[in-house]
Structure 1
């Protein structure tokens, strides 16, 4: 494999001992923050009790990545053992001290100051661990991780034999890790539900508090309360939309705690087989977004990488990213909130992928097969992941929809899962079975079309073309794998690729627009063997002319 660097790798190198230093959780920002990103000692061993450290690893990058400075594969039944000493100021430590782990694969054990905190399994969504009983000013933390790529747990497209549409496995700590500490009397949680003229705030706080709501820098409301539920009505509401993604600033303050957050006024609904954002019909003009980066795999060198992807795709005329079988750091969703990019978030699949059943048969036309036989432990893990994911993203206005199953991967009792999650969060839309194997329950009639012409008949259901395109063009000096190449239609010249892309939209998407609620092109960027992105894998080359694609998308959306 060839080493290629992202556009923002230089920034990572300049900030090499403290990457991703920004506070990652913009939806619930507390002034207590101690980052554990940086250099840790590490060892790879089959003996989880060994402490013969072999060097240093840069957290938060998976051990397989260039950015980690290890760039090694973790073999089956091997452990990666992390160790770090750190000092906390005396006044930092309050009644409750919490370790926040935003991403780690898959099973791990934590010791703090020679005390076993516990053994854990990561379900693809940030988790919090109470370290109050053993934290001190001077500390030593040891985290022992095993990643056998257990298929019962959410794993997405990770593979220990990466090729084609499956990618390099990520092991160990791969997202930021930090500590916060707060008083026994504190703000426990905040969520909101809004419409176009009011917002319902749900605040858990075990003491009196007050809220401040700002429109830009203007204070609109200051309300003292001890209630868990407040309703705020707006005389002149400022609606969040793709064109004007306005966020109200919210500050929650109690005697012992303070949280900075934000919220938005917006609605999303299906009506008469169309999607409506804020009561206005919208065509979901989207892109598949895998969220992989050559130097960090799962993890960006800088949050500017997120920003570049979002802003470039928006400039081209797209209004939605389908975040594909991967959960990002909260900062990604904050930027989508800030810049007005809609997100359709995939659940991360578990279970075994079956090439013939899940890909070959539906590709040649057998798309009405039944769900996989139920594996109850696998389903339990999937539900646990889904509940954590929906709770994690609940406050983000950009998130308008979820994909539960993709192309049958791990699909079990799709109707039951749709009903469960639709009740769990009724404020979002759900694509229960993206691509094929639709059962009876879903908000969308979801189709993937790659190998034949898109020629749809009018159906009495909201048809979402949730994947199509995937045209491949390899850009010299920006290729991850010089030997392998993956895509659905191949071009050797930039102008041929661009002309085919434009023709695809003109002849097959615009002509079918009246039969669709949206269309999601594959994809934002190249990923390892896949060379079917609009960006190269390193994001240094955009394969299309911005002005030409803006004109094309304006024609589509008008």
Structure 2
């Protein structure tokens, strides 16, 4: 039997105005109209918009989420319909109006006042439409038709599964991020690409614009309230601007520079950080992760990004920020965002707080052969190092269209998140889930972004590419040794479990080692870190990802309960262990120690 859990933020949710914060902090305009709130919805078998709707749904929560007010699973053969009305506030309209969707799972068509505006495929990335020509004076009617195949097609789906259980979670559908509008001039700034050059002390800027190329652009870079530098440049051309005596960004000192960009009548605000991710040899000749040209241990956790009351959608911005803050307080410096792309504000919080991010690409593919892609390499580790991933049938990647869709989303995800300072690594594939041609995927990632690290195939089915010799280890004592050309990283481990009555989704328990009390769980966690992690650093271990931040449904292996009410381990013990990790890494990477 499943139990509906609530977070404290969900219990106190303002249903009249949910998630009102500006959704795109990496490129801010003053123009902003939030459309979150109660919409009409219907679920049926007809693609055509219904005459009568079923009731109200609280956007941006998926119908499967309790906070939506619907709490009903959509099926692959059903259509999910949305309808709302809006009127543009006085003074809002400039020349053009852009309608933005943070994410809609999985395929949607958008209509305004009965006219088709556009469509989108893929449930994890933002998209927008210019709706200027479709607007009416006064009230406007916005409708969507959505279909979600979940795990019955090759499209990306992450951990969603219609038959949830174990490591697979409740499937969700439809709008799950903020819907909003902005008004812009006829010629406006479309996007900005920022390339910090740490070694040369400069920031590379390229402003992409609509309309005539090469328009004049004015740049102001601010350090706090003080102007650090100003410059003029041409749109659609890159310019490098020197930052004198710049301040570095790191988890310990997360310093951000702010930037104002003006082009004609348009003005946007963004931010950046001066930091460098690389690999290099320590004083003892062992290959290590480097941050700002110094050896740096990535000490992280796996983060699924699920909420008991909102599923993919955190109830509030405070909830979204909470997990990051709590993990930082416990002494971690990295989060691996597991096969999900979060709202842009999540990355903004990581940038501000000082939390490294390893970003997974979202897995797709048809029905997985779990014996092949999971159980065999997990229990016999050499298996995953021997198999080539061009066996498309075995890896559930027979459909050419599905492979093409993956590459489109790979490119789009990197473009979307490119300016996020805290993202240290890209992870194209995880444990063979929908994996194919990983070496080619890693090469494409490198071409799209040469400034970050790559974990080509996290866990197993290693094809020899990327920057990491990536290990998943849940069942045995860890044995590592330095590699000649790649950094050794334990990219998943632990998964120690404890179910706490009143804070658990169901009575079933899924995990790798079961404990009954906080003291027992803490003792097991301490022994694991002292035996495997701390001792492994001298042998070349450079990064770790503990499973995981929070419980999710029956997978009760989080440091936090699913409702985020309890920390399941003794906090001071975890802090001291993390400090020991950093001290041991410092000792092992310097010849004089």
TM range (shorter): over 0.9
Deviation at 1:99, TM superposition (A): 1.3
Give the alignment's TM-score, normalised by structure 1.
0.97
Deviates more, 1:41-50 or 1:54-63: 41-50
State how far apart, in whole Å, the 1-side matches of 2:574 and 2:123 are: 38
1:346 aligns with 2:360: yes
**In 2, Cα distance between equivalents of 1:156 and 1:492:** 30
2:196 counterpart residue number: 194
- After alignment, is 49-58 or 219-228 more displaced? 219-228
**Given the two structures, how large is their TM-score scaled by the length of structure 2?**
0.91
Contact 1:67 1:296 in 2 (8 A): yes
Partner of 2:10: 9
Structure 2: distance between partners of 1:548 and 1:392: 38
Conserved 8 A contact 1:214-1:250: yes
Which has the larger displacement, 358-367 or 276-285? 358-367
Quote the offset at 1:90 in angstroms.
4.7
Q: What is the CA distance between 1:500 and its match in structure 2? A: 0.5
- Distance across 2 between alignment mates of 1:312 and 1:358: 33
> Which of 220, 226, 230 is 2:228 aligned to?
220
Residue aligning to 1:48: 47
311, 317, 325: which is aligned to 2:331?
317
1:510 to 530, 534, 543: 534
Cα distance in 2 for partners of 1:554, 1:139 equals 57
What aligned pairs does 1:40-439 form with structure 2 within 5 A after superposition? Answer: 40-49=39-48, 50-137=50-137, 138-149=139-150, 150-196=152-198, 197-205=201-209, 206=212, 207-227=215-235, 228-272=237-281, 273-352=287-366, 353-365=368-380, 366-367=383-384, 368-371=386-389, 372-373=391-392, 375-439=399-463
Task: Please state whether the residue corresponding to 1:94 is helix, strand or coil.
Answer: coil
1 CA distance for matches of 2:517 and 2:480? Answer: 30
Gaps (5+ residues) in structure 1? none
Counterpart position of 2:467: 443
CA distance in 1, matches of 2:263, 2:442: 39
Tell me which residue corresponds to 2:522.
498
Give 1:173 deviation, angstroms.
0.6
Q: Would the aligned equivalents of 2:193 and 2:207 in 1 still touch at CA under 8 Å?
A: yes
1:51: how far off? 2.4
Residue equivalent to 2:489 = 464
Conserved 8 A contact 1:11-1:302: no
Stretches of structure 2 that go unaligned for 5 or more consecutive residues are 282-286, 393-397, 584-593
In the aligned structure 2, how far is the partner of 1:229 from the partner of 1:542? 47
Q: State the SS of the aligned residue for 1:91.
A: coil
Listed one character per residue, the Cα deviations across residues 425-470 of structure 1 (whole Å, up to 9, x for unaligned) are 1111111111001112221110100011112234333111000000
For each residue in 1:102-147, what CA deviation from the matched residue of structure 2 results, as whole angstroms up to 9, or x when unmatched?
1111111211011112333125211112212102342001101111
Measure, in 2, the Cα distance between the counterparts of 1:185 and 1:146.
34
In the aligned structure 2, how far is the partner of 1:378 from the partner of 1:123?
14
Greater mean alpha carbon deviation, residues 1-10 or residues 441-450? 1-10
Q: Indicate whether 1:543 and 2:568 are aligned.
A: yes
Q: 2:373·2:433 contact (CA, 8 Å) conserved in 1?
A: yes
Maintained 8 Å contact 2:154/2:399: no
The answer on whether the counterparts of 1:88 and 1:136 sit within 8 Å (CA) in structure 2 is no
**In the alignment, is the contact (CA less than 8 A) between 1:182 and 1:257 conserved in 2?**
yes
- Is the contact between residue 123 and residue 384 of structure 1 (CA under 8 Å) also seen in structure 2? no
User: In the aligned structure 2, how far is the partner of 1:103 from the partner of 1:130?
Assistant: 17
| CA displacement 1:326-382 (0-9 Å, x = unmatched) | 000000000000011000000001103221111111122121222132532111010
Find the aligned partners of 2:559 and 2:328 in 1 and give their Cα distance: 13
Q: Please, what is the CA RMSD of the aligned residues? A: 1.3
Q: Is the 8 Å Cα contact of residues 264 and 397 (structure 1) preserved in structure 2?
A: yes
2:68 partner SS: coil
Is 2:552 the partner of 1:527?
yes
Q: Tell me, in whole angstroms, the C-alpha distance in 1 between the residues paired with 2:12 and 2:410.
A: 34
Q: What is the distance in 1 between the residues matched to 2:173 and 2:222? A: 42
